């Protein structure tokens, strides 16, 4: 019988429990420092016990939404310190918002909450580091590893064994190698003995301790035939579908019709993540459409007065993986501006496929103000609600830009386009090279998380309010 590896946050349930304990210790320690023996104040104790429960729920939500434990075992100490600071700051902010929103700020001491944050950072950081040291030592020394036998062809043997030996987080020990296309019994490959050939392989398995078999490099027919024999012996069999490389950082095994396949992509999101992201889009777009309605009442008459013509500007843009959709903005340019673009191309400030001009003569009076504070983008909340766009993503190119794309440029279309994104919050007026924009977009897609989206949204609010980096 083979124990399937735990997935998702359940895999790091130990870190969740550890963090909760650390946060509660930090919270009650700060209470004692500020208030002394709070048992003498039973009413006050009830309030602080209630906040301790809220703290527990907040931490679970932060872990759930921000995926706080992704890659936690592979982080170095500096990376872990940054992760702990981020985690504790989010928890601190959430507790502060709760106290303010429930109008209990007069009950709770601000010093308690601030001291709690400081103690939590210290305790949580050292607790995580110590726990990771314990886990690694247990994995290396104290764990009973499964006994794995590698079955492969000679040309793949050294690479395969080396890959297993350099895996710090393996759950098994390679006890031997079987070379199926040559008799090399008695030799060693990367320090691992060659224990059998094709003819003696099953006999070796019969009389020796073997828990799992890894089949690498054989034809599909020979692998299936071998696996059937091994399964009858009660062994666990692993097939090599394809060797992982730097080009496949995300992968999962799944069914595709009648085939079992290894699926890889720039980023693989879970059903939960996709559901939450779409939920954020719907809620955000409803609020955004309310703001759009208010902006329409204020700016529509001015647009009509300064530049007679339609209030809204409609254009075909390119969405996820090349899909076309209707894109909406408040009109900030004179009617016929698209036809004038060719005449202005020699003044394009962008190095690449996008067009940008600081003092674009096509923009009329109020349009400059609307662009500075991104008011012209508000109608795109309708695109978000429809599902053509997301709140956060990559900016959708025009058809004219898209037809000029090189192969690597299409990577930025691997996700639903967004109303805001990495480029917008990275000072878009300062970025003149289209390749830099592509790099930012692919970086966003590869490292995407719900927490990243939330951070970009908050940074976008700052950019919009200050008008910094406006196009």
Q: What is the DSSP string of 413-438?
A: GSS--EEE-HHHHTTTTT--BHHHHH
Cα radius of gyration rounded to whole Å, the chain: 29
- Helix segments in 255-379, DSSP class H: 271-306, 337-344, 365-372
In this structure, what DSSP letter does residue 410 have? G
pLDDT over 90 at 419, yes or no: yes
**Could you tell me if 152 and 278 lie in one domain?**
no
**Could you tell me if 189 and 309 lie in one domain?**
no
Question: Which pLDDT score is estimated for 342?
Answer: 66
Question: Which pLDDT score is estimated for 63?
Answer: 85
Q: Are 274 and 291 in contact (CB under 8 A)?
A: no
Residue 384 tokens read as: 């978000």
Question: Which pLDDT score is estimated for 1?
Answer: 47
Q: Which domain holds residue 291?
A: 271-466
Report strand pairing: 236-239 vs 250-256.
Answer: unpaired
Residue 245 lies inside a defined structural domain of this protein: no
**Could you tell me if 31 and 158 lie in one domain?**
no
**Could you tell me if 331 and 453 lie in one domain?**
yes
pLDDT over 60 at 246, yes or no: no
Residue 348 lies inside a defined structural domain of this protein: yes
**Could you tell me if 115 and 207 lie in one domain?**
no
Domain boundary among 240, 255, 284: 240
Question: Which pLDDT score is estimated for 81?
Answer: 93
Domain boundary among 112, 142, 172: 142
Span 39-54, average pLDDT: 74
pLDDT over 50 at 450, yes or no: yes
**Could you tell me if 233 and 372 lie in one domain?**
no
pTM of this structure? 0.66
pLDDT over 80 at 239, yes or no: no
Residue 248 lies inside a defined structural domain of this protein: no
Residue 199's domain is classified under what CATH number?
A: 3.40.50.720
Residue 3 lies inside a defined structural domain of this protein: no
Residue 113 lies inside a defined structural domain of this protein: yes
Question: Which pLDDT score is estimated for 143?
Answer: 56
Residue 360 lies inside a defined structural domain of this protein: yes
**Could you tell me if 83 and 163 lie in one domain?**
no
Task: Count CB-CB contacts under 10 A for residue 396.
Answer: 27
**Could you tell me if 208 and 320 lie in one domain?**
no
- Percent of the chain whose pLDDT exceeds 70: 81
Taking CA atoms, 368 is separated from 10, 320, 364, 453, in Å, by: 51, 30, 7, 28
**Could you tell me if 333 and 400 lie in one domain?**
yes
Q: Cα(341)–Cα(355) distance, rounded to whole angstroms?
A: 9
Q: Cα(206)–Cα(184) distance, rounded to whole angstroms?
A: 20
**Could you tell me if 137 and 159 lie in one domain?**
no
Tell me which residue of 315, 293, 294, 311 sits closest to 302, measured CA to CA: 311
pLDDT over 80 at 176, yes or no: yes
pLDDT tens profile 66-125: 777 877 887 888 989 999 999 999 999 999 999 888 888 788 888 888 999 999 999 999
**Could you tell me if 133 and 160 lie in one domain?**
no
Question: Which pLDDT score is estimated for 349?
Answer: 61
pLDDT over 70 at 130, yes or no: yes
Domain boundary among 107, 142, 177: 142
Residue of 38 and 235 predicted with greater confidence? 235
pLDDT over 80 at 334, yes or no: yes
Residue of 379 and 139 predicted with greater confidence? 379
Residue 379 lies inside a defined structural domain of this protein: yes
Mean pLDDT across the chain? 82
State the total domains in the chain: 3
Residue 61 lies inside a defined structural domain of this protein: yes
3-class state of residue 185 by DSSP: coil
**Could you tell me if 79 and 216 lie in one domain?**
no
């Amino acid at each position: 019988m083979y124990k399937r590896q735990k997935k998702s946050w359940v895999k790091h349930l130990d870190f969740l429990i550890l963090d909760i304990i650390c946060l509660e210790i930090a919270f009650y320690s700060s209470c004692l420092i500020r208030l002394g023996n709070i048992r003498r104040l039973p009413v006050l104790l009830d309030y602080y016990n209630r906040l301790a429960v809220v703290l527990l729920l907040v931490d679970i939500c932060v872990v759930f939404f921000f995926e706080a434990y992704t890659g936690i075992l592979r982080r170095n100490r500096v990376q872990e310190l940054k992760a702990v600071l981020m985690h504790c700051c989010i928890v601190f902010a959430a507790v502060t918002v709760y106290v303010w929103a429930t109008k209990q700020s007069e009950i709770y001491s601000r010093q308690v909450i601030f001291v709690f944050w400081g103690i939590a950072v210290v305790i949580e950081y050292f607790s995580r580091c110590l726990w990771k040291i314990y886990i690694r030592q247990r994995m290396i020394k104290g764990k009973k590893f499964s006994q794995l036998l590698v079955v492969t062809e000679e040309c793949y043997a050294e690479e395969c064994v080396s890959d297993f030996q350099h895996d710090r987080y393996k759950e098994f020990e390679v006890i031997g190698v079987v070379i199926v296309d040559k008799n090399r019994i008695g030799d060693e490959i990367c320090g691992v003995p060659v224990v059998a050939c094709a003819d003696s392989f099953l006999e070796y398995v019969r009389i020796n301790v073997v828990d799992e078999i890894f089949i690498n490099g054989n034809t599909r027919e020979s692998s299936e035939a071998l696996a059937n024999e091994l399964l009858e012996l009660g062994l666990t069999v692993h097939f090599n579908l394809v060797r992982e490389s730097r080009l496949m950082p995300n992968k999962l095994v799944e069914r595709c019709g009648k085939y079992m396949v290894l699926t890889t992509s720039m980023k693989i999101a879970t059903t939960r993540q996709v559901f939450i992201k779409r939920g954020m889009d719907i809620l955000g777009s409803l609020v955004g459409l309310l703001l759009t309605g208010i902006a329409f009442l204020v700016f529509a008459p001015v647009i009509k007065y300064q530049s007679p013509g339609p209030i809204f500007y409609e254009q075909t843009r390119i969405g996820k993986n090349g899909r076309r959709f209707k894109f909406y903005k408040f009109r900030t340019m004179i009617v016929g501006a698209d036809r004038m673009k060719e005449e202005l191309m020699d003044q394009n400030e962008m190095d690449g496929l996008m067009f940008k001009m600081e003092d674009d003569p096509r923009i009329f009076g109020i349009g400059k103000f609307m662009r500075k504070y991104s008011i012209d983008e508000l109608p795109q909340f309708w695109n978000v609600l429809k599902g053509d766009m997301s709140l956060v993503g990559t900016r959708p190119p025009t058809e004219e830009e898209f037809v000029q794309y090189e192969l690597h440029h299409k990577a930025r279309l691997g996700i639903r386009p967004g109303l805001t994104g990495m480029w917008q919050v990275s000072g878009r007026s300062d970025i003149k090279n289209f390749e830099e924009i592509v790099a930012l977009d692919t970086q966003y897609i590869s490292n995407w998380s719900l927490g990243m989206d939330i951070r970009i949204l908050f940074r976008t609010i700052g950019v919009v309010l200050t008008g910094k980096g406006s196009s």
